[in-house]
Structures are given as C-alpha cells and as structure tokens.
Amino acid sequence: EAGVAQSPRYKIIEKRQSVAFWCNPISGHATLYWYQQILGQGPKLLIQFQNNGVVDDSQLPKDRFSAERLKGVDSTLKIQPAKLEDSAVYLCASSLRVSFNSPLHFGNGTRLTVT
C-alpha cells in the first residue's frame, strides 16, 4: 500500500511569513494526525482529525496555526505568522481507526526552518 505522502519536503521562510504543508493519508484511513517534532525531541501532537472533524486540537497554537481536512481525505496545516520556535519537522500520520489496534503510519515529514 502507498504510504502517507507529505509535501514539501523542506521549507525555509523568514519569521512573520506564512507557510502551508500538505498531507495525503493512506487510502481508507479515517484518522489523521499532525505532529510537531523539534530537533532532539519526540513528536508532539498538534491536531487529530476523525474523517473531516476535529477530535483533539488542544495543543494547537490557534493564534497562528490552523489545519483542515478536505472531504475527510487530504489535509493542510498552515502557520501564519511563523516564529523562530516553529522550526521543526512537521509529521503527518494516519490510522485506520481510533483504536490501540490501529497503529499510526507516519509520512517522512516536512522540515521547516524559520530564519
């Protein structure tokens, strides 16, 4: 099966600019996640979607971050305006359903550098 696709692979922007990341999950996977992985740390959940509805966005900095999942398939994560501390790898993951028996499948991420 095809994996989780993410683009772009790398992005360099200046602080206060905006940026968007795109994710295409594994076909048929109802649950989609965005994680932020700062260098040297474990991934941190930003937002979780079930189909096209938000399940958990408690750790999403809503003053600058936004995310949507179009028609329950593709998703975009946007940052506006970016800060230096947003430099990280943004990982998208999907799973078949919300269950411990349904492992997360991660994409290779988008590495964001904010200068």
Where do contacts with another protein occur on this chain (CB under 8 A)? 4, 31, 40-45, 48, 55-56, 59, 91, 93, 95, 97-100, 102-109
From the list 35, 38, 36, 37, the residue with the least C-alpha distance to 48 is 35
Cα–Cα distance measured from residue 98 to residue 29, given in angstroms and rounded to the nearest whole number: 10
CB-nearer residue toward another protein: 54 or 80:
54
CB of 45 to another protein, least distance (A): 6
- Nearer to another protein among residue 79 and residue 109 (C-beta): 109
Output 10 or 14, the one with its CB closest to another protein: 10
Whole-angstrom distance, CA of residue 59 vs CA of residue 47: 7
CB of 111 to another protein, least distance (A): 9
Nearest distance in Å: CB 84, another protein? 21
Quote the least distance from Cβ 77 to another protein, whole Å.
15
Q: Which CB, 42 or 53, lies closer to another protein?
A: 42
Please report, for residues 5, 13, 23, 52, 114, the alpha-carbon distance to residue 18 in angstroms, rounded to integers and kept in the order given. Answer: 21, 8, 17, 23, 10
Q: Are strands 19-24 and 53-56 parallel, antiparallel or unpaired?
A: unpaired
> Kind of pairing, strands 53-56 and 44-50?
antiparallel
